[in-house]
Structure 1
């Protein structure tokens, strides 16, 4: 079908650029983790939480609205960009002033110069929203990928050089500023955005309802996703936040870098079928199947390979991350599937129900974080309660999406997940057996790398064995090429 061909083509391009970014990100983070302390990471982590909030304010739902609306012309894009310039100036100034509030809340004046510098990032990140979403709307995924990877390489190298020169956490700060500036310039140059004279609000008024619900969802999602960082930094400390952030970031690698190979493609392609909910459901259930096939084994792999991952990528001083990462890994598969659902709400034109779903799930997550941090005062308990909240939110969110938005039956989703369970059980048993056989000799750095490689191979073999129909066409093609040679 044409829809699947478009999705595969876009996903293939994003896959290549995204995984180049993963490899690059792992290398940069691994080097910085050996040059900087958990407390130094935690200091920047505190400010990053607030930057994320300002990024939401700068979008106000316009990014998704640009993609969804099929009637925007060059004048509309120009008008929206001009409004984003004004908004960028206001937000950057507000963030610079907020630096005093952040310093007061955490009782540390170090946050004043850091936040005032990062106001520059807030400015350029806000400016990039319109040109970036114009590129997404045009399905220019290769251009976006090349810009992101190239910018990450340049700014990651900059951060490493600065860290070696003892710039401490400022190496991360300047990396963020340089990245936001570079991607804005490159997005703008490649978007085809042409600034026209005059300004009109007609384009924004046309998508006000759609974008307002999207903004409200993003607003709620921000607090549910970042309240843990805000409270951990305040009540457990910067070192605790540094540990938690590393565990969360490692957990997010497969979620962001596998799911986001597909999700950027879903909205612009399925938005064309916003009046045909059956087509959207049929195409989406194929995507959910793929995410389940990938996500469930990856969850098991991260759980059992956590010690090797931390040793290899972060070093021995980060070993306290292991139990937190193991707990969070139990939610990887469910978050991979959940993170794709927003694109379907958007494509179906039901950001109002996306907001309601987000309100429910956000409330559950916020309650979990408050209990974990304020009552238990434990990183592990907070992580465990978050995992529980993800499972509850999965059931609620997909009932609203499939039953109410798309008007389909839930049984197809749950049957799909049940069919993946035998592969997961076999993989878990294989990892337990491997652990018993190798626990006495996996000690040195080279043996840790070998152990990680073995676990990766086991995951690949089990996935291939239980999902052979997916790879059979490629096996036949390879055999045919060999026979011809």
Structure 2
């Protein structure tokens, strides 16, 4: 298992880090060529697209990984159903999505925008079975190459379109070309045993897992995107563009680490479904590592939000500074909460995971509504950030008790020292930042980053955490 983890994380890390760099470059360029209002409009369509992608079968891949009884012919039959369902979803989104959004937000542009993004739904549906096969066979190298190449091509086409004054459609092109490239590469490296059969037996085999996992994903979708929908409706697309830009920045560190660990954890831990001790120990070690990374990163982002926004996106995004500063504080609880999904899946407890999702939906939705009542981005950001802390406590308690035969205190113990590091770091950064401020934003962030890194390194060495991390990675 150790070698599989190392191999999986190595190739996944290369692809993820490269992809994040590509995405950051795209954002830096498009943020200077498009207005906050235009980006806000595409954000709204993206939110709906994500929902249809979930319905298109995002749980099929994990279900194939978890199931030990499927054969090559079964994969072909499940693929047939994914194609049929994908066509249905494309028509539903194309005809219904644009009309509904144009009515809600009083702008007819949503009709052509929705049709332009329908290929994403079809490709998402058709690629689920190959994704499951790749994960089950632990072909992390192929998965990583596909991710990297598709991201680069999407960036090239999108940025070119932006310079040719394509407006909002430049962002659409980024997503469509990225998914199309990934789609083509997937069917190049995965061979499916195609069949005309529509025998429902293979579908029935994975249906319980898919049903509960999809239910959780839909619930997760709503509480992770409700803020965007409500900000766009009640505060306008310009404020939504600024809010989403701040949120997008803090999502980079979350993506960098979780998208490296989560895709590797479930395929490997699924083989040890009944070994609760092994899965619990592995999860706690992962949480310890995530907390040591996430808490210092959240402090740096929060206390340097202004220079980061201005350097990356320009002066027109000044309203994104405060949301980034507040939302960044939730990086750690978000990381730890999102890593739980792989554990629920590897323990084959997606039914209980759905219950956890409903609880999270209630907590986060209530907080978002309270934030919207405040009528500004500050109140929304505070409410959203606070909701993730509360949700982590509740979800973590349920996971530890029902899936890992333990309690929340065991989970909290592994993040005590990282929390102490966060307190020390906050005090020092607040005291030193006024003296490390120059007209050149890059120099400012570079020197502040060096100070931040020295403090983190000293803490890890003095407390012995560095040695423990080194031993943990080895094992």
**Is the 1:350–1:405 Cα contact (8 Å) retained in structure 2?**
yes
Structure 2 residue 52 is the aligned partner of structure 1 residue 54: yes
| 1:53 Cα deviation from its structure 2 partner | 0.6
The number of residue pairs the alignment matches comes to 470
Aligned ranges for residues 130-169 of structure 1 at < 5 Å? Answer: 130-169=129-168
| Cα distance in 2 between the residues matched to 1:171 and 1:227 | 25
Aligned ranges for residues 453-464 of structure 1 at < 5 Å? Answer: 453-455=449-451, 457-458=453-454, 461-462=457-458, 464=460
Which residue number in structure 2 is paired with residue 327 of structure 1?
Answer: 326
Which residue number in structure 2 is paired with residue 479 of structure 1?
Answer: none
* Selected match of 1:401 from 372, 378, 399: 399
Which residue number in structure 2 is paired with residue 256 of structure 1?
Answer: 255
Aligned ranges for residues 422-433 of structure 1 at < 5 Å? Answer: 422-433=420-431
Which residue number in structure 1 is paired with residue 177 of structure 2?
Answer: 178
**Is the 1:305–1:455 Cα contact (8 Å) retained in structure 2?**
no
Which residue number in structure 2 is paired with residue 72 of structure 1?
Answer: 70
Instruction: Spell out, residue by residue over 1:343-364, the C-alpha distance to the aligned partner (whole angstroms, 9 max, x if none).
Output: 1001101001100000001111
| 1:448 Cα deviation from its structure 2 partner | 3.3
Alignment CA distance shift 1:456-1:59 (3 Å) = farther
**Is the 1:118–1:177 Cα contact (8 Å) retained in structure 2?**
yes
Aligned ranges for residues 70-469 of structure 1 at < 5 Å? Answer: 70-98=68-96, 99-373=98-372, 375-439=373-437, 442-455=438-451, 457-458=453-454, 461-462=457-458, 464-465=460-461, 466=463, 467-469=465-467
| 1:68 Cα deviation from its structure 2 partner | 0.7
| Cα distance in 1 between the residues matched to 2:145 and 2:228 | 31
| 1:194 Cα deviation from its structure 2 partner | 2.4
**Is the 1:14–1:261 Cα contact (8 Å) retained in structure 2?**
yes
| 1:410 Cα deviation from its structure 2 partner | 2.9
Unaligned runs of 5+ in 2: none
| Cα distance in 1 between the residues matched to 2:31 and 2:104 | 27
| 1:320 Cα deviation from its structure 2 partner | 1.3
Q: Where does structure 1 differ by over 6 angstroms across 4 or more consecutive aligned residues?
A: none
Aligned ranges for residues 28-47 of structure 1 at < 5 Å? Answer: 28-47=26-45
| Cα distance in 2 between the residues matched to 1:356 and 1:472 | 37
| 1:246 Cα deviation from its structure 2 partner | 0.6
Instruction: Spell out, residue by residue over 1:88-124, the C-alpha distance to the aligned partner (whole angstroms, 9 max, x if none).
Output: 1111111101211111111100111111111122111
Q: For 1:420, what is the secondary structure of its paired residue?
A: helix
| Cα distance in 2 between the residues matched to 1:86 and 1:261 | 32
Instruction: Spell out, residue by residue over 1:392-450, the C-alpha distance to the aligned partner (whole angstroms, 9 max, x if none).
Output: 111111111111222123332111111223322222222123213224xx223443343
Instruction: State the Cα RMSD in Å.
Output: 1.8
| 1:237 Cα deviation from its structure 2 partner | 0.9
Q: For 1:167, what is the secondary structure of its paired residue?
A: coil
**Is the 2:74–2:202 Cα contact (8 Å) retained in structure 1?**
yes
| 1:12 Cα deviation from its structure 2 partner | 1.7
Instruction: Spell out, residue by residue over 1:189-230, the C-alpha distance to the aligned partner (whole angstroms, 9 max, x if none).
Output: 112222134232111111211211111111111111111111
| Cα distance in 2 between the residues matched to 1:61 and 1:17 | 22
Instruction: Spell out, residue by residue over 1:156-182, the C-alpha distance to the aligned partner (whole angstroms, 9 max, x if none).
Output: 111111111111111111222222211
TM-score with structure 1 length normalisation?
Answer: 0.93
| Cα distance in 1 between the residues matched to 2:10 and 2:112 | 42
Which residue number in structure 2 is paired with residue 16 of structure 1?
Answer: 14
| 1:304 Cα deviation from its structure 2 partner | 1.6
Q: For 1:28, what is the secondary structure of its paired residue?
A: helix
TM-score with structure 2 length normalisation?
Answer: 0.95
**Is the 2:31–2:313 Cα contact (8 Å) retained in structure 1?**
yes
Alignment CA distance shift 1:449-1:394 (3 Å) = closer
**Is the 1:308–1:451 Cα contact (8 Å) retained in structure 2?**
no
Q: For 1:171, what is the secondary structure of its paired residue?
A: helix
| 1:463 Cα deviation from its structure 2 partner | 5.8
